[in-house]
Chains A and B, each alone.
Chain A
Amino acid sequence: MTELLTLTTLSGILVAAASGIVGSLLTLRKMTLLSDALSHVALPGIAIGIVFKFNPLFGGVALLFVGVLLIWYIEMKTRLAVESITGVLFVTALSLGALLIPEQDLLEAFFGNAQNITLEQALAQAVISIGIIATALYLLKPLALSSIAPDLATSSRISQPKMELLLLILIALTIAVGISFVGVLLMSALLIIPSVTAKNIAGSFKGFITLSIGLAVIALLSGLVISRIYPINPSFATALVSSAIFFISLLIKRPTR
């Protein structure tokens, strides 16, 4: 039992760190709503996992990849904004998921439940998170450049579609590993709120990334600890800690311009 708890906590730290770094790239690219909407795309996959009795994490990953490729493809073909396409997929996936997932499992899919994470799941999440962090750090410069100055990136021979696809894949993987902690509806507590808070108070890019990672880890760990003391779902505690830090950061430093 304690082994599982330790592993879940460790896996949580890695998942939160991955969310922090991917979230900061999303914030730079102003794609914050995308991840929120994209996370719902995992629902039908989770449903398939539950119905056919395999790990819902893998069903979620599979569906997220289908979703990401669809978004990427439709954007290349139609020039519709990514967020508009995501909006369509999001509603479709949410209703399909809600329809397919048995009622007693629906709440867990929506809000996650860290207490039900199995040993196998915790391990898979930890390994995938390390992969996300390593990839994001290794390609941090081209990813950042293509977000803040697309023309400069292209003229430096950095392919814009490739960077976009890479970022979408990183988002999909991050959502997949984060869902069992915070669920599809509260994924922003790890992906978006920490990076937005960090952007508000950081003075440099390095500080921004570091803070974003740190705040996501603090939020998730606090959520796990609070849920041990009080009988509430860790995802609610995580989300509320995350937004509390955001509001406190507004008091520390109000945007001046």
Chain B
Amino acid sequence: MSETQLLKVEDLSVTIGDNKILSNVSFSLDKEQVLAIIGPNGAGKSVLLKTLLGIIKPTEGKIEWAPNIRVGYLPQRFHVDLYLPMTVAEFLNLKPTREMTNEKALKLVKVDTSWLSRKLAHLSSGQLQRILLAWSLLDNPQILLFDEPTENVDVVGQESIYSLLHTLQDSIGVALLIISHDLHAVYRYANNVLCLNQKMVCYGQPEDELTVDKLSSLYKDQTFFHHDHDYGTIKIDAKPEHEDKA
């Protein structure tokens, strides 16, 4: 593993029960880089993230993190019980290790400190996502794992979370590993892209890898593409999905 590398994954396979979820996945992530993971429903994207985090045990292969690395994680789903009596400050205070104050973390995600006294259950999904991002920044991570939600977050919310992540990358130099459903964002922000459908279908720079041929074979009939004339890129309209749960 080289000096600049934060994460190196070699020949990773995950089998749960009789189902082979991932086979022979290899990639690496350097400091301050953005790696996007794309793929259809049930491709094993969330499982990959959870395996990197140690929530799921790998069956084969090697996951190597830089020594003493601090990893932040934004889960895809975080359902808050509507009657949960907890303020934003109390939630942030549950973080076991921290390198900065709640106020500083909120400032980084461009949220007013008056939110600290708001009830967690009263936040919209987009607002909750920002609080989760603040949570993951509290221990000043060198790498942030972001499992993009496929539901419940409106388009405006999604756009702002990407520009926010991009700003963070500039301001605190955090590397990003993102599961994305938004090819436009992948084109715009990612240094590398990994196409996943149980095995690796492509891995490289978005300009080289995101061709219509490769995308068609990756998504098969799950999605349909249309050209986006404003950006000259391809968008994917995913069907409603519920299959990505680990």
Contacts and interface: CB of A to CB of B under 8 A. Distances in A.
Given A141-B93, A203-B119, A152 B83 contact: no
Contacts of A154: 53-55
Interface string B33-57: 0000000000000000010011100
A156 B55 contact: no
Interface stretch (B84-92, B100-108, B187-195): B84-92
Nearest to B139: A156
A83 to B, nearest CB: 17
24 contacts: A28-B84, A30-B81, A141-B94, A141-B96, A145-B94, A148-B86, A151-B55, A151-B75, A152-B73, A152-B135, A154-B53, A154-B55, A155-B54, A155-B75, A156-B95, A157-B96, A199-B83, A203-B87, A203-B119, A204-B119, A205-B87, A207-B85, A255-B83, A257-B82
Given A199-B85, A202-B85, A203-B119, A148 B90 contact: no
Contacts of A145: 94, 96
Contacts of B97: 156
B132 to A, nearest CB: 8
B71 interface: yes
Interface string A1-39: 000000000000000000000000000101000000000
Contacts of A144: 94
Query: For A145, A203, A205, A206, which residue has the most chain B Cβ atoms within 10 angstroms?
Result: A205
Contacts of A148: 80-81, 84, 86
Contacts of A28: 84
A28 to B, nearest CB: 8
Contacts of A255: 83
B83 A142 contact: no
Contacts of A149: 75, 78
Interface string A116-150: 00000000000000000000000001101100110
B85 A205 contact: yes
Interface of B: 50, 53-55, 71, 73, 75, 78, 80-87, 90, 93-97, 119, 135
A151 B73 contact: yes
Contact of B85 (A156, A204, A257): A204
A205 B90 contact: yes
A223 B220 CA distance: 67
Contacts of B53: 154-155
B75 A156 contact: no
A192 to B, nearest CB: 15
A204 B91 CA distance: 10
Contacts, number: 61
A257 B80 CA distance: 13
Query: For A30, A155, A202, which residue has the most chain B Cβ atoms within 10 angstroms?
Result: A155
Interface string A185-213: 00000000000001110111111100000
Nearest to A204: B87
A156 B139 CA distance: 10
A202 B53 CA distance: 34
A198 B119 CA distance: 15
Contacts of A200: 83
Given A154-B54, A158-B96, A204-B85, 10 more contacts: A145-B96, A148-B81, A152-B73, A152-B75, A155-B54, A157-B96, A199-B85, A202-B85, A205-B85, A255-B83
Nearest to A142: B96
A145 B138 CA distance: 15
A206 B96 contact: no
A135 B75 CA distance: 29
A204 B83 CA distance: 11
A186 to B, nearest CB: 25
Contacts of B78: 149, 151-152
B88 to A, nearest CB: 10
A207 B87 CA distance: 11
A152 B53 CA distance: 10
B52 to A, nearest CB: 10
Query: For B53, B93, B94, which residue has the most chain A Cβ atoms within 10 angstroms?
Result: B94
A141 to B, nearest CB: 5
